[in-house]
Structure formats: structure tokens, C-alpha cells
Amino acid sequence: MRLSRFPLATAKETPADAEVVSHQLMQRAGFIRKLGSGLYTWMPIGLRVLRNIERIVREEMNRAGAVELLMPSIQPAELWQQSGRWAQMGAEMLRLKDRHGNDFCYGPTHEEVIVHHVKQDVRSYKQLPVNYYQIQTKFRDERRPRFGVMRAREFLMKDAYSFHVDEAGLAAEYEGMRAAYTRVFERLGIDYRIVQADAGNIGGNRSEEFHVLAGSGEDLLAVSDSGPYAANVEAATCAASGPRPAATAAMSEVATPGQKTCEQVSAFLEVPLTGKVKLLVLRTATGELCAVALRGDHQLNEVKAARHPAIGPGFRLADPEEVSTVFGCEVGYLGPVRSPIPVIADHAAAAVADFVCGANRNDHHLQGANWGRDCAEPEVADLRNVVEGDPSPDGVGQIRFYRGIEGGHIFQLGRKYTEAMGLTVLDEQGQSLVPWMGCYGIGVSRLAAAIIEQRHDAQGMVWPVSVAPFSVILCPIGLDKSEAVREAATALYEGLLAAGVDVALDDRGLRPGAMFADAELIGIPLRVTIGDKALADQQFEFKRRDAAEAERIPATLDAVLERLRA
Ligand code: ATP
Ligand code: MG
């Protein structure tokens, strides 16, 4: 590509509204342009990267035996009514009506559509297994679109859906997809972790996420410092706490005027946070109040709470007014002793003896309280977030936290959708069976940003050759003045093109400093500078984007090709 014909719009200034480095660089390098909240145009230079990621994903999906198709982004509501998700999906799903008043959505995902097609086309076990995939635009009306294409409203996803006669077939395909994803992430040149995940509202059983490790990541990952355990904190189980020590103190009430938070109370009474038990009051979706006891230094894990049968999905923190009506005190003074409603305790809270807790009386706390003596033994469950330093639940090592960007997610869905939508096929005996289903997503557009989060320096992006917008850029110095430079640059450019190299020729007539700054900002992995001085010695100057120094190489096509292959 001759850059004189290629619209590039780079900027020196960091855009004010871009919080993370990838968003800043993508704006500055003219990769993307914002059209509205969470809506971005991929400009030509950015699109080259997006297409490269897409190509790698497509190659690995094909290699793993998945087959590509393309479904519409607009989907009829009937399908979502069949699966039950039309009512379940919240405001993230964009709903629309056509001119006849029929309901549609802009697809946030495609389980319903693919099950519908498989229902029409697949009748016999002989047609299974099958794994369909597409690379297609999704819309999710995210609560907080941010970080550019990292959390957009419209974005590009690769989504795949597999169908199997039995659970073992699904498990085997899941392993195949896991291996394919591993190859994709390796080829993208990023540092990633596979972590256990919560299956979310999509349902199902086994599920793992592929996370790009980056400080700006929105997800917190719990990873063992010496074993294989790795999970999204949302899904990370906490190792059971050891047995509770015997009670040694007598319970007494102390005045704690104005001391409401665990931190305040622990400082005021000079007890560690780990010796405090706090009570959260939840309002379940069915309208019940439910109290959860946690150790003072722990946080409620909402995913685990939503899974607990007494709490369930759709719960919220009860309003202070409803709490004080039932407990007769402000929220800062709640405790399990004489609680008017049953208490479910997290393992760690249930393992504390002689604890401090609210007295269910304003401006008062209890000291030396004990489960089973001063209040009933609570029902015990795993309800908290893991914290750093916790033992790993598999017993190997301690938990450390990392931040990650979710780049991919694989699920064993089981038969949730196939059952709900009435998909059956005939087995060998002519009996009808409900197939098992898996689904596998990759955030193609998000990955472009995630790679930049990991691979950049003060000058700009540092792409691996596999996804770079161009593999190599030629920077001729004094193109308009020097016949020798013009000839050498043109010959090299044409030679590289003929050799199938994805090469850019910077023939815009810019000063060297401006050319180099653009090449570095855009992150082209290799640069060849063609100037009179070096040409006089029959040499080019060659520089890798990630190397500190340039080197002189012979001014021949072969010498350049040799460096490209290295
Ligand atoms: P997140 O928790 O980040 O919202 P998700 O769990 O909703 O993601 P999936 O439904 O598993 O995501 O979608 C598959 C992939 O699509 C994700 O792994 C992610 O890479 C990508 N993705 C999801 N939401 C967005 C978004 N708003 N913008 C860009 N990519 C996204
Ligand atoms: Mg989401």
C-alpha cells in the first residue's frame, strides 16, 4: 500500500475522553472514530488489524472442524419467547418493532437463532456433532460503554454453537474449542490466562474465560501462586474455613456512638476486622428479607448469593428504611444476635468466636458474641469473594489477584436451549433425543484493544506481525529530491509486494521524524529506511519496532526478506 493513497489521520495529542491506553492510542493513530456512545467506525488502518484477528480466529475455528455461516443481526422476538429469554433479558437487549408492529431484537447473542435452524435442518443423530460459527456484529446496550471498543455497544464477536447426541460428545468438543482458543491467543502474541467462570444468564455448567492480563482489565482474577487454580473472582470458590475455636469471652454490650462501618468499629474497640461479624440484609426477588453474615474484612459475592436457594437471582440490598422497620435500628448496628430474621453465615464468619457485631440497637455493639450460644447456629454457605492470601480451594498455594480483559468465553450449555425450544433428533433406535449444546465466544473487536493494552510503549502500539496493520513500512528520505532513493524504494516496494509481503510505502513526502513517529504510533513491526547516505554504501537502515537501535543491512530485496523471516 502506498500511504499517499491511504487515509491516515494521526494526532499527537492524547484525547481527553480516553481513559485507557488502548483507547488513547487507537484514537491518536486513527484506528477508530466515535460515532456515538459505544459506537465506533473502524477506519482503514484499524480495520486491517481487525481483519487480521478475524482471519486468525477463522483459521483456527476451521482447523478445529467448526463451519462458518452468517445469521442476521436482527432477530424475531418469537424465538426469544420460546427460550424464555425475551422476558429475562434486561435493558441490555435492544428491542425494536417493524412496520407491522412485530417485535424484534438486535441480537446480543445467537443461541435462539441457531437452535431454530438446527431444528429445521438436523433430524438424525447421523448429522451430529456439528459446530456452527459466525463472525458478526452484536449489539448490547451496555450500562457503561467505555474504553472505546473494549466495552462498546456495537461490537464484533465470533460466536460458535455446537450440538451433540450426548454429554461426552459435548465435553470432547469443548476441549477442542479450548485448544483452538489457546492457539488463537498464542498467535495473537498476548499473555493470557484461562480461568473458571460463572456461566451468567446464558445458563449451563462448565465454563471458562480467556483473559488478557492487563492492569486496566475490568475483571479480577484469583490465581494460585503455586498451583494450577485460576478463576474469575465472580466464580472463585473459597476454601472452607478451619473449625471454630471455643468461646472464651462472655458477651457484653458496649456503646459505640456514631461508629457504623466495620472499620470505624474495629478502630474504636481496638479489635481486628477479622474479629467483626457484619450483617447484610437482602431483599430477594420474591420479596423476602434475608440476612447474610460476613466477616468484617470480607465482601459479598453477588454471583454466589444469587445461586443460594434462599436468595436467588434478582436480589438487592434492602433499603435502610425497610431494615430499620424490621430490626429497630440503623443499618450500621445490625448483628446476628437477636436477629428478627434467619441468618445465613459465610463459612469464614461462622468460624469466628468471641466476635464483635452490631447489637441491633442504635449506637451499640456486642463484644464476645458466639454462634450457638448467643444466637442460633447459622446455616453456612460460601458467599464471599476470595481475597488475596486465601488458601487456593484446590489446596495448592495461595490466591493472588490479577486484572484481566475477557477476550473469550467457552460454555457447556447442556440442554437448556435445546429443551426449551423443543429441538429433538432421532437416535440409532429411532427414538427422539434432545441434543447437548455448547457455545463459544471471542470478542474480536475487544481483542484489538486488549492486545494494545499489553503491547505498547511511549511511542505507540507494538503489534506482533500476525495482526499488524502492515508487516513492514518503507520510509524513503527525500523522495522528491533523490532519484536514487526513489528508485531503490520503488524497487524494494515492488519486490516485497511480489514476494507477498504486506508492505506500506510511506511516499507522502514527510520529513523523516514525522514518518518515523507515525510508523511507531501505528506500531508497524519492521521499518526500512532508504536514504542517500546509506545508499552510498549500498545499505538500508533496518529497525524492529521493539528494538532500541536500527542496524545497517545490504540494500537488497533478499537482505530485507531475510530479516522479515527472522
Ligand atoms: P463481559 O462480562 O465483559 O460483559 P460477557 O460475559 O457479557 O462479557 P459473552 O456474552 O461471553 O461476554 O461474549 C463473548 C465475548 O464477547 C466476550 O468474551 C468479550 O470478549 C466480548 N464482549 C462482550 N461484551 C462486549 C462489549 N460490550 N464490547 C466488546 N466486546 C464484548
Ligand atoms: Mg456483558
pLDDT (0 to 100) of residue 204: 55
Mutate to test the pocket of ligand 1, among 23, 444, 446 (most ligand atoms within 8 A of CB): 446
φ and ψ at residue 539, rounded to 5 degrees? -135, 155
Residue tagged 465472580 (cell numbers): 234
User: Does residue 192 line the site of ligand 1, with CB under 6 A?
Assistant: no
pLDDT at residue 16, rounded to an integer: 87
* Ligand 1 within 6 A of CB of 152: yes
Of all protein residues, whose CA lies closest to atom 4 belonging to ligand 1? 151
d(CA 123, CA 429): 13
For residue 562, what are the contacts with CB-CB under 8 A and spacing of at least 6? none
Q: In Å, how far from its chain's centre is CA 292?
A: 29
**Pairing verdict, β 436-443 and 154-164:** antiparallel
User: How far, in Å, CA of 288 to CA of 318, rounded?
Assistant: 10
Q: Please give the backbone phi and psi of residue 16, each rounded to the nearest 5 degrees, phi first.
A: -65, -30
How is residue 553 written as a grid cell?
543491512
Instruction: Report which protein residue has its CA nearest ligand 1's atom 3.
Output: 406
Helix (H, G, I), strand (E, B) or coil at 335: coil
Q: How far is the CA of 533 from the centre of ligand 1 (A)?
A: 51
Which segments of 51-115 are extended strands (E)?
67-68, 74-76, 94-97, 103-106
Q: Whose CA is nearest to atom 2 of ligand 1?
A: 406
**Does residue 155 have its Cβ closer than 6 Å to ligand 1?**
yes
Distance 288 CA to ligand 2 centre (A): 28
Question: In the prediction, which pLDDT does 239 show?
Answer: 84
The pLDDT averaged over each successive group of 10 residues in the chain (566 residues) is: 95 89 97 97 98 98 98 98 93 97 98 98 97 98 96 98 97 98 97 87 75 96 94 91 90 95 94 95 92 96 93 92 94 95 95 96 96 95 95 93 97 94 96 97 98 97 97 96 96 98 97 97 98 97 96 97 91
The pLDDT score that the predictor gives to residue 159 is: 98
Closest-lying ligand 1 atom to the alpha carbon of residue 152 = 28
Cβ pair 219, 446 in contact under 8 A: no
**Confidence at residue 441, expressed as pLDDT on a 0 to 100 scale:** 98
CB-ligand 1 contact for 197 (6 Å cutoff): no
- Taking the CB of residue 401, how many other CB atoms lie within 10 A of it? 14
Q: Looking at the CA of 446, which ligand is closest?
A: 1
* CB of 140 shorter than 6 A to ligand 1: yes
Task: Look at residue 94 in the predicted model and tell me its pLDDT.
Answer: 98
Proximal ligand: closest to the CA of 157: 1
Q: Is the pTM of this model over 0.75?
A: yes
157 lines ligand 1 (CB under 6 A): yes
Exposed, middle or buried: residue 287 (CB in 10 Å: 0-12, 13-18, 19+)?
exposed
Supply the pLDDT for residue 242. 78
Asked if the peptide bond before residue 313 counts as cis, ω within 30 degrees of 0, the response is no
Coil, strand or helix at 158:
strand
For the Cβ of 28 lying below 6 angstroms from any atom of ligand 1, the answer is: no
pLDDT for position 198: 80
Cβ count within 10 A of residue 116: 20
Task: Give the Å distance between the CA of 86 and the centre of ligand 1.
Answer: 19
Ligand in nearest proximity to the CA of 217: 1
Predicted pLDDT of residue 285: 87
Residue 138 Cβ contacting ligand 1 at under 6 Å: no
Confidence at residue 241, expressed as pLDDT on a 0 to 100 scale:
80
Q: Is 200 in the pocket of ligand 1 (CB under 6 A)?
A: yes
Q: Is the CB of 469 under 6 A from ligand 1?
A: no
